[in-house]
Structure 1
Amino acid sequence: MSEAESAAAAVPAAAAGRKPRRLRGHKKGAVTCCVASSARPGVVASAGEDGCLCWFDLRTKDVLLTIEAANKPISSICFKPGNEDFVYASAGNEILSFDVRMGPQSKPLETYNYNRDEINQIAVSSKGFLAAADDSGDVKIVSTIQKCLYKRLREAHTSICSTVQFIPWRPWTAITGGLDSKLAVWDFSKGRTLFSIDNGSPELQNGSSSGSAGQCLNPAFVHSLAVSEEGILGGLYKVCAVARGDGAVDVVDLEYELAPSKSKGPPRLATSTMSSKRTEPGDGSSNQCQVERIHLDFTMGGHTAAVSCVSLFQAAMIHQ
Structure 2
Amino acid sequence: MSPELSVSTSHPISSLTLSSSGWLHAEDGTLRIYHIPSPRVVQAIKLSGDEISSVVCTRAKEGREGCIWLASGPRVIAFPADSDKMILTEKDAECTLILGEDKEDVLNELSVSDNQKHIAFGTDGGTVGVIELSTRKVTKMKAGHNNICGTVRFIPDRPSELVSGGYDSAVLQHDFVQNAMLSRFDIVTSQPESGVSLSPPFVLSTSVSSTGFFAAATADGRVWLGAGGEKRLSPSRLRRKRHRKWEGLKEDEGLWMHIAEGPIVAVAFLGPGVLVTCTLLGKLATYAVFRGTEDNLVTQKGWSAETSGIAKVNAMCVKDHWIFVGGLNNDGKGMIEMWNTRDTEDWGVKN
Q: Normalized against structure 2, the TM-score is what?
A: 0.66
Q: Equivalents in 1 of 2:65, 2:185: separation in Å?
A: 33
| 1:251 aligned residue (217, 221, 225) | 225
Q: Equivalents in 1 of 2:94, 2:146: separation in Å?
A: 34
Structure 1 window deviating more from structure 2 (87-96 vs 103-112): it is 103-112
Higher-helix-fraction structure: 1
Q: Deviations over 1:288-320 (max 9, x none)?
A: x861313110xxxx2110111111101311110
Larger RCO (CA within 8 A; separation ≥ 6): 2
Amino acid at match of 1:160: I
Q: Equivalents in 2 of 1:253, 1:160: separation in Å?
A: 26
CA contact (8 A) 1:215 1:247 kept: no
1:274 aligned partner? none
Amino acid at match of 2:218: R
Unaligned runs of 5+ in 1: 1-16, 232-237, 258-280, 282-288
Q: Equivalents in 2 of 1:318, 1:66: separation in Å?
A: 29
| 2:39 aligned residue (37, 41, 61) | 61
Q: Equivalents in 1 of 2:106, 2:196: separation in Å?
A: 29
Return the offset for 1:156. Answer: 3.7
2:205 aligned partner? 224
Do structure 1's residue 115 and structure 2's residue 108 form an aligned pair?
no
Identity over aligned residues, as a percent?
23
Count matched residues.
251
Matched residue of 1:291: which SS? helix
Do structure 1's residue 305 and structure 2's residue 286 form an aligned pair?
no
Q: Equivalents in 1 of 2:162, 2:220: separation in Å?
A: 24
Do structure 1's residue 141 and structure 2's residue 153 form an aligned pair?
no
| 1:295 aligned residue (245, 256, 271) | 256
Amino acid at match of 1:133: G
Return the offset for 1:85. Answer: 4.3
CA contact (8 A) 2:145 2:170 kept: yes
CA contact (8 A) 1:215 1:246 kept: no
Q: Equivalents in 2 of 1:181, 1:83: separation in Å?
A: 38
1:23 aligned partner? 7
Return the offset for 1:95. Answer: 0.2
Higher-strand-fraction structure: 2
Unaligned runs of 5+ in 2: 232-244, 279-351
Q: Equivalents in 2 of 1:100, 1:184: separation in Å?
A: 32
Q: Equivalents in 1 of 2:106, 2:155: separation in Å?
A: 24
Residues 256/44 of structure 1: CA separation in 2 closer, same or farther (3 Å cut): closer
2:338 aligned partner? none
